[in-house]
Chains A and B, each alone.
Chain A
């Protein structure tokens, strides 16, 4: 459905861009690659700096005031993150480097807890390599099989497909939003089906948590992984949320300092949650900056963020659909897209499209988007992908369209 006058007017306005130094400092820059990494507002960058300027000390280790402050800031961040995703208990929030590490933690530790010979792990064909290779690895190690949920012609995982989850399945791990197609999966239905089969449900929230209000209670999943750098925070800070019961039962992932209660020559007793999964010195600056990024999003309101990004995604899909030489890879309806729209310019390799757009300072992604099995399933080698965030506006989409018309002219005279 095309946008109404009012909707269009709201995405012509942009009260956010000025908050983002990289965008504010490059007025001509059209950044349509937030699915790869988002930009960061000044307040978030300041928060990281402030940590090192005012409370730099190793959290947990020191008995002096600075260290106590660093520890308190870390725990405040943990509480805010828990609230932000609807988790009851901050101790269920584990800090990692990124979604990839969170998913590796889940695969390694859950795999060692749950998987035996002949068991099954079920993922979907639309997974990012980070929610795919860790499962390949642990399945190979435990003698388990990795099986896939495929998409119907509407890019959905159908009821019939979900019915394939057998009692042999011990873990079902799916993405909430595809980083290529931009479509969302019905996590509540998948989690319910996984639990019915006796399996644990892991969710890759890398492309959903930044863009839509998240409530793990409503999703009904057991784990949720996401990255700070896709949600306005710096690179190098990520989160794994898991239910207390499972986290307590799981063996640790990384081991060493900070994650123990006591150590003897031949053994160790693990610290309680969350420390058990946080070996070594944590990314203090990243943690407080993620806290600030969530404060920034909450200041605007996730409902407002969600609505604006939905309008931008619809405007983007509409604009691409209106170009006769563009094929959208994924559903044509803008309503189906969260953040990303994948497409091809007919007869032009995506890398040529991206290079030509770059000459007009329009940034998009081109390639297999770390989802090779999905592209193969779709019969594609690679695609272009444009993705939006709250700091985009209608002029970015206009500039993309101009750039794509230029690409077409270069290749077709």
Chain B
């Protein structure tokens, strides 16, 4: 079963030793995302360089292994990207986990996040995997408001 690969060593390393899970000191903007059905909560922060690219990305919060690993992998991916590029990657990722985008060449842009592709066979976990990406997308689309919070689905 393909899903058996999901919780592999590489994935678990992001759960146990996340590189990007910390409180960022001088964030350009932060945004909170919650997933009420699981109690997952995540605050994602970025700092933009003068050039406009994302120079630092970090998150805090708690949740299941999938939401946590997904946030760590995403943080690594969006560093040095422009906000527009990051939004594009968020959409690509969400297309992948919903099973709407399956083309391997296209998905290559997601780099390590392709680890989570089997989520598309686990509909109950799509919201967990999406949480970080949806939070970032919302933050960037609203040009960094730091008050609103993203809610990924209300269904229990």
Residues of B within 8 A of A381 (CB): 38-39
Residues of A within 8 A of B104 (CB): none
A128 smallest CB distance to B (angstroms): 11
Q: Of B1, B39, B65, B125, which contacts A382 at CB under 8 A? A: B39
Is the C-beta of A370 less than 8 angstroms from some C-beta in chain B? Answer: yes
Residues of B within 8 A of A349 (CB): 38, 63-65
A314 smallest CB distance to B (angstroms): 30
User: Is A355 in contact with B122, judged by CB distance below 8 angstroms?
Assistant: yes
Residues of A within 8 A of B38 (CB): 349, 351, 367, 381-382
What 0/1 readout, one digit per residue, does chain A (345-381) give for beta carbons within 8 Å of chain B? 0001111100110110000000110101000000001
User: Is B1 in contact with A359, judged by CB distance below 8 angstroms?
Assistant: yes
**Interface size of A as a range:** 10 to 19
User: Is B64 in contact with A351, judged by CB distance below 8 angstroms?
Assistant: yes
A402 smallest CB distance to B (angstroms): 15
Residues of B within 8 A of A368 (CB): 37, 39, 156
B48 smallest CB distance to A (angstroms): 32
A206 smallest CB distance to B (angstroms): 17
Is the C-beta of B87 less than 8 angstroms from some C-beta in chain A? Answer: no
Residues of A within 8 A of B12 (CB): 410-411
B143 smallest CB distance to A (angstroms): 32
User: Is A359 in contact with B37, judged by CB distance below 8 angstroms?
Assistant: no
A130 smallest CB distance to B (angstroms): 12
Is the C-beta of B128 less than 8 angstroms from some C-beta in chain A? Answer: yes
What 0/1 readout, one digit per residue, does chain B (115-126) give for beta carbons within 8 Å of chain A? 000000010110
Q: How far is the CA of A75 from the CA of B122 in the complex (A)?
A: 44
* Nearest opposing residue in chain B for A368, CB measure: B156
Q: How far is the CA of A350 from the CA of B125 in the complex (A)?
A: 12
Residues of A within 8 A of B122 (CB): 355
B156 smallest CB distance to A (angstroms): 6
* Nearest opposing residue in chain B for A410, CB measure: B7
Q: How far is the CA of A411 from the CA of B7 in the complex (A)?
A: 9
Q: How far is the CA of A383 from the CA of B66 in the complex (A)?
A: 17
- Of A349, A367, A372, which is in contact with the most chain B CB atoms at under 10 Å from its CB? A349
Q: How far is the CA of A110 from the CA of B38 in the complex (A)?
A: 34
User: Is A352 in contact with B64, judged by CB distance below 8 angstroms?
Assistant: yes
User: Is A367 in contact with B156, judged by CB distance below 8 angstroms?
Assistant: yes
Is the C-beta of B3 less than 8 angstroms from some C-beta in chain A? Answer: yes
Residues of A within 8 A of B64 (CB): 349-352
Q: How far is the CA of A372 from the CA of B39 in the complex (A)?
A: 11
Q: How far is the CA of A359 from the CA of B1 in the complex (A)?
A: 8
Given known contacts A367-B37, A367-B156, A381-B39, A351 and B4 CB-to-CB distance under 8 angstroms: no
Given known contacts A359-B3, A367-B37, A351 and B156 CB-to-CB distance under 8 angstroms: no
Given known contacts A381-B39, A410-B12, A351 and B7 CB-to-CB distance under 8 angstroms: no
Given known contacts A351-B64, A359-B4, A411-B12, A370 and B156 CB-to-CB distance under 8 angstroms: yes
Q: How far is the CA of A367 from the CA of B40 in the complex (A)?
A: 11
User: Is A355 in contact with B125, judged by CB distance below 8 angstroms?
Assistant: yes
Q: How far is the CA of A242 from the CA of B142 in the complex (A)?
A: 54
B69 smallest CB distance to A (angstroms): 10
A354 smallest CB distance to B (angstroms): 8
A353 smallest CB distance to B (angstroms): 9
Q: How far is the CA of A351 from the CA of B122 in the complex (A)?
A: 11
Residues of B within 8 A of A410 (CB): 7, 12
Residues of A within 8 A of B66 (CB): 351-352, 355
What 0/1 readout, one digit per residue, does chain A (141-179) give for beta carbons within 8 Å of chain B? 000000000000000000000000000000000000000
Q: How far is the CA of A300 from the CA of B51 in the complex (A)?
A: 76
Q: How far is the CA of A368 from the CA of B155 in the complex (A)?
A: 11
A381 smallest CB distance to B (angstroms): 3
A387 smallest CB distance to B (angstroms): 18
Residues of A within 8 A of B65 (CB): 348-349, 352, 411
With A350-B64, A351-B66, A351-B128 known, 15 other A-B pairs at CB within 8 A are A348-B65, A349-B38, A349-B65, A351-B38, A351-B124, A352-B65, A355-B125, A358-B3, A359-B1, A359-B4, A367-B37, A367-B38, A368-B39, A370-B156, A382-B38
Which 8 A-B residue pairings sit nearest by Cβ, starting from the closest? A381-B39, A349-B64, A352-B65, A351-B64, A410-B7, A352-B64, A359-B4, A359-B3
User: Can you list 12 A-B contacts with CB-CB less than 8 angstroms, sorted by A residue number?
Assistant: A349-B64, A349-B65, A351-B124, A352-B65, A355-B6, A355-B125, A359-B4, A368-B37, A370-B156, A372-B156, A382-B38, A410-B7
